[in-house]
Structures are given as C-alpha cells and as structure tokens.
Amino acid sequence: MSAIKSSVLTLLVLPLLSYASIGIAAADSSLSLTDDRGRSIHLERFARRIISLSPNITELVYAAGAGDRLVGVSSRSDYPAAAKAVPEIGDAAGLDLERIVMLKPDLVIAWRSGNAADIDRLEKLGLPVFVTEATRLEDIPRLLRLTGQLAATSTQAEVAARAYETELRQIKRSYAGRQRVSVFLLIWHQPLMTVNGSHIISDIINLCGGVNIFASASILAPVISAESLLQADPQAIISGVLPESGAGELWQQFPQIRAVRNKHLFFVHPDLLHRQTPRMLQAVKMVCEQLDRVRSEQ
C-alpha cells in the first residue's frame, strides 16, 4: 500500500474508531465519557458550545481542533492568539456565573486542581462539567483525545496526540540513563512554594534525570521553609516565576546552596512549565538541557 493511500485510510478510519469507542447512538449522537474525577458525563450530542475554565484547557481545546466551539474562556487564555477574541468568564479567583449561563454552554471543561471550588456550583446550575487533570506527561495526549471525542474533532485531536507522543518518546530516549541531579523547583517565592512528586512538573524533572528534593511532600504545592531548602542543598534550582516579580533576587539570601554557589539557577517560562498542554514539551527540552549543563560543570 502506498504512503498516500495509507494516510487517506488513516484519516477515514480514525474518526470511525473514535465514534465506536465512546458508544455513540446513531440516532442522536449522544455520548458518555468518564472524566478525571471518575464521574461519567453524558451529553445528548457532541459539544458545540464549550466553556473553558483555565488557560491550559483553552489551549488543549484549540490543539484538539475544537477552538471554534469555544464560547467562553477563563482570564489569561492567550494562546493561541485566537483565544484572545473569545469572551472571558472569570478565573479560579472568581467566575462570572451569570455570564456563563447566558452563554448557554452545552459543556464546561474544568481543571480539577484549579477549579475545585467552582465545579459543584456549576453543576448545581444544571451545566455538564467535564473535569480534567494531567499528572503525568502521558496524560496530555489522553486529554487531547478526550477533547476530540467530546467535540467531534477526533481526527485533528489524534494527529496532535500522536505528534506529541512521538516527540515525547524521542526526548525520553535521548535522556535515558543520565546521572541524577537534585532539583528545587520554584513555583512562587513569597512564600517559597514548590511541587511534590504527584505534580506533572515533577514528572518533567524525573524524565530529565533530576530528583525533586520535595517529592515526598504531602500536598501538591507545599510551602517550604528556608531551613528545609538549605538542608536539602539542591544542585540545580529551576524557577517558573517571571523575573519581573523579583524572584531572581531571592537567591542572594542563600549563597551557601550548591545551585547558587555554582550559578546553576535556571528559568522556564510559566506558560510552558505550568500549563498542561502540548507546549509543555518545550519546557521538558529546556529542563533537560539545563540539567545537562549541571552535569557538565560538576
């Protein structure tokens, strides 16, 4: 079979496989999918009017080929550029529930970690809420496929998911077996905040041959003391805090830490490091390169 024929067949077959996998009733195109709470969400038809409750979900919806179905997005939904033209409905600090209802969504997609306080309120208004949470890098293509199923854009979503998976496999092969480097990941500096081993950013550190020094913390984003950071004495510090916030001046207080002493202080833009989207692979590459620099300068 020629490559062209194979590609054509793929484009024809993928949607059919997706439809079959979610049990669509031929008469009304209804579907049921299980979200990341373990709850089954039933829709009478594919979602045509979607509201996103976080910038990372907005980006995922576009990546899955369903951007034209968005009728409302959370504040700071700025990627891709088209998202800036979609009406805003608030953010994790406060949603405009009246506006959400007026937009008449047939689906709200929420982020479990960021929207926990609002999910019940939206469901009490009778809105179907599909809750997502990526805790590992492999979850991103899974969420792309689910979004494609919800919005009837499975072909586009599958292409994006496969491209991501291919690139992720390549990165894993490139960095397998590297010498371990202890890492402190800064997500905020007033107070000092990091992530534990259940967070997707910790998965990035592990993939690159790093060791998250606070992986054993009991909560997802713990506040840590200066004393515990000094005691851990990481070899590398990676910040996801924008430099203009003043976070860079923080390390003057810790000259005895190896990372500070050896100038192994790195920055990854929070839009790449914190948003659970295909662009996270850019953050993976940056972190891996940064830890390689630590290894080479030991």
112-133 confidence digits (pLDDT tens): 887 877 898 999 999 999 999 9
φ and ψ at 185, to 5 degrees? -105, 120
Does residue 270 carry a pLDDT above 80?
A: yes
pLDDT of residue 137: 98
d(CA 281, CA 167): 8
Do both 48 and 160 map to the same domain?
Answer: yes
Do both 154 and 183 map to the same domain?
Answer: no
**Tens digit of each residue's pLDDT (9 = 90 or more) over 220-244:** 999 999 999 999 999 999 999 998 8
Do both 55 and 135 map to the same domain?
Answer: yes
pLDDT of residue 113: 82
Picking from 118, 143, 164, the residue at the C-terminal end of a domain is: 164
d(CA 53, CA 51): 7
Which structural domain range is residue 152 located in? 3-164
The count of residues in the chain is: 298
- Quick check: is 212 in a domain? yes
* Domain count within the chain: 2
Do both 15 and 152 map to the same domain?
Answer: yes
- Judged by DSSP in three states, 198 sits in coil
What does pLDDT average to over the chain? 90
Closest CA to 47 of 30, 62, 60: 30
pLDDT of residue 184: 98
Do both 11 and 159 map to the same domain?
Answer: yes
pLDDT of residue 13: 41
- Quick check: is 191 in a domain? yes
Picking from 112, 133, 164, the residue at the C-terminal end of a domain is: 164
The DSSP bridge pattern shows strands 188-189 and 192-193 to be antiparallel
pLDDT of residue 245: 85
Q: Count the helix, strand and coil residues of the chain and give each as a percent rounded to the nearest 5.
A: 45, 15, 35
Radius of gyration of the chain (CA): 21
Do both 130 and 255 map to the same domain?
Answer: no
pLDDT of residue 86: 98
Do both 115 and 205 map to the same domain?
Answer: no
Percentage of the chain with pLDDT > 70?
Answer: 91
210, 183 Cβ separation under 8 angstroms: yes
Question: What does the pLDDT average to over 252-267?
Answer: 96
pLDDT of residue 25: 36
pLDDT of residue 93: 78
For residues 207, 208, 209, 213, the Cα torsion angle rounded to the nearest 10 degrees is -90
Do both 16 and 150 map to the same domain?
Answer: yes
Does residue 74 carry a pLDDT above 50?
A: yes
pLDDT of residue 22: 40
Question: What does the pLDDT average to over 89-98?
Answer: 88
**Residue 234 corresponds to which tokens in the numbers above?**
């990481």
Burial code (b: 16+ CB inside 10 Å, e: under 16) for 238-271 equals bbbbeeeeebeebbeebeebbbbeeebbbbbeeb
pLDDT of residue 3: 42
Do both 116 and 151 map to the same domain?
Answer: yes
Question: What does the pLDDT average to over 273-277?
Answer: 95
Picking from 141, 164, 187, the residue at the C-terminal end of a domain is: 164
- Quick check: is 92 in a domain? yes
Do both 27 and 147 map to the same domain?
Answer: yes
Q: What is the CATH number for 243?
A: 3.40.50.1980
Model pTM score: 0.87
- Quick check: is 170 in a domain? no
78, 84 Cβ separation under 8 angstroms: yes
Does residue 14 carry a pLDDT above 50?
A: no
- Quick check: is 172 in a domain? no
Do both 100 and 244 map to the same domain?
Answer: no
Do both 62 and 202 map to the same domain?
Answer: no
Confidence of residue 4 (pLDDT cuts 50, 70, 90): very low
Question: What does the pLDDT average to over 180-198?
Answer: 96
- Quick check: is 68 in a domain? yes
